[in-house]
Amino acid sequence: MDKLLNVSSAPHIRDNDSVKSIMEEVAIALMPATLFGVYNFGLYAALIILACIVSCVLSEYIYEKLMKKKLTTNDMSAFVTGLLLALNLPATVPLWVPIIGGMFAIIIVKQLFGGIGQNFMNPALGARCFLLISFSGIMTNFTVAKTTGIKNMIWYGLSGLNGYAYVDGVSGATPLALLKKGEEVDIISSFLGIHAGTIGETSAVAILIGGIYLLCKKIISIRIPGAYILSFVAYISVYSAFSENGFSIDYVANNLCLGGLMLGAFFMATDYVTSPVTPNGKIVFGILLGVLTGVFRTLGASSEGVSYAIIIGNMLVPLIEKVTMPRPFGVERRKHG
């Protein structure tokens, strides 16, 4: 099947972009959030990131070797999947968690559906949801670790085989969880990101820098992240207006900055494979994600909801594209149904 030629009618549009070049740009855009995550949570967060990336790349290489498929490890897609998965993990998980997550993302979500371009959901988010369901205690532990030294960090990662690593730290709820309880959260801290959370989701400003970079490089379109953020703000504003305390701009702004909303909007909802290709479909997709995220955050048991919203949206992409497909030039619309 790999040797079949794809023949299409003129005009034939050529582009210098490749999977590798696009993945390289995405990796560069993720560097501000990655570096801030290591700064915020310490060097152990770097070990988690390394474990995720190595797990994803090795899983893809070994699977394709065993299945005698064309090797695609050099296209950087597995690298980016590992990086995104790591940024969605708490900085306290034992090292076997990112290894299992990387294997699930590549083998189950990506390769078993045919490899790159064939998966129906974002591999990193699929793996994160799998880990949340399977190891909920570990995945919702946002203790800030205080390990020092390489040996201590490795021991910390390996000693958590039972889900509890023996390390001194500061335990507490994430600002998003506090916000859901009705407590006040400092908006400046929310925007800068010096607080508990997953490795890559805490700093809205770092994620925005990467998102703007992708927009300037024209790797992504503003349609999906713009529709996502605006529809989420509209939902949260209406919810806040009808709450007991009335409308609060701080509540809306904090919901916008906290959690995985920014990371999801710019880096995971815009995944080429699992998002719509039609212009109107991108907008519908973004609105769907914004409303779903708002519903999950305000009415659900969890204070977050980005991962599940995007995965549900991924599964509805074929239907969205079917109803938003542009009318071919010269074809008249039906006048009576």
Is residue 332 in a domain? Answer: no
Angstrom CA distances, 276 to 150, 209, 265, 268, 292, stand at 44, 24, 14, 13, 17
- Residue 171: the pLDDT is 47
Whose tokens are 């990336």? That residue is 53
Residue 33, domain extent: 19-321
* Helical residues (DSSP H) of 181-316, grouped into ranges: 187-192, 204-216, 223-241, 249-257, 261-263, 279-299, 306-315
Q: CA-CA-CA-CA torsion for 201, 206, 211, 217, nearest 10 degrees?
A: -140
pLDDT at 114 over 50: yes
Residue-wise pLDDT tens digits, 272-296 = 999 999 999 999 999 999 999 999 9
Give me the phi and psi of 118, to 5 degrees please.
Answer: -115, -15
Is residue 5 in a domain? Answer: no
Confidence of residue 258 (pLDDT cuts 50, 70, 90): confident
Please report how many Cα atoms fall inside a 13 Å half-sphere around the Cα of residue 172, on the Cβ side: 9
Confidence of residue 233 (pLDDT cuts 50, 70, 90): very high
- Residue 98: the pLDDT is 96
How far apart CA 290 and CA 13 sit, in angstroms, is: 33
166: CB partners within 8 A, 6+ apart? 156, 159
Residue 332 gets which letter from DSSP? P
CATH at 230 = 1.10.3430
How far apart CA 175 and CA 177 sit, in angstroms, is: 5
- Residue 303: the pLDDT is 73
Is residue 103 in a domain? Answer: yes
Instruction: Report, as an integer, the average pLDDT of 84-113.
Output: 94
Largest CA distance in the chain: 73
Q: What's the 3-state SS for 68-131?
A: CCCCCHHHCHHHHHHHHHHHCCECCCCCHHHHHHHHHHHHHHHHHHCCCCCCCCCHHHHHHHHH
Angstrom CA distances, 316 to 286, 288, 297, stand at 12, 10, 20
How much is the mean pLDDT over the chain?
85
Pick left, alpha or beta for residue 300 (phi over 0 → left; psi -120 to 50 → alpha; otherwise beta): beta
pLDDT at 159 over 60: no
Is residue 35 in a domain? Answer: yes
Is residue 14 in a domain? Answer: no
Residue-wise pLDDT tens digits, 32-49 = 999 999 998 888 999 999
Is residue 333 in a domain? Answer: no
248: CB partners within 8 A, 6+ apart? 240
Give the total number of structural domains in the chain. 1
The two tokens of residue 109 are 């979500």
Residue-wise pLDDT tens digits, 162-214 = 444 434 444 456 777 777 777 778 888 888 888 778 999 989 999 999 999 99
- Residue 329: the pLDDT is 64
pTM, two decimal places: 0.85
Amino acid residing at 310: I
Instruction: Report, as an integer, the average pLDDT of 143-152.
Output: 52
Is residue 1 in a domain? Answer: no
Is residue 272 in a domain? Answer: yes
**Residue that wins the pLDDT comparison between 134 and 151:** 134
- Residue 237: the pLDDT is 94
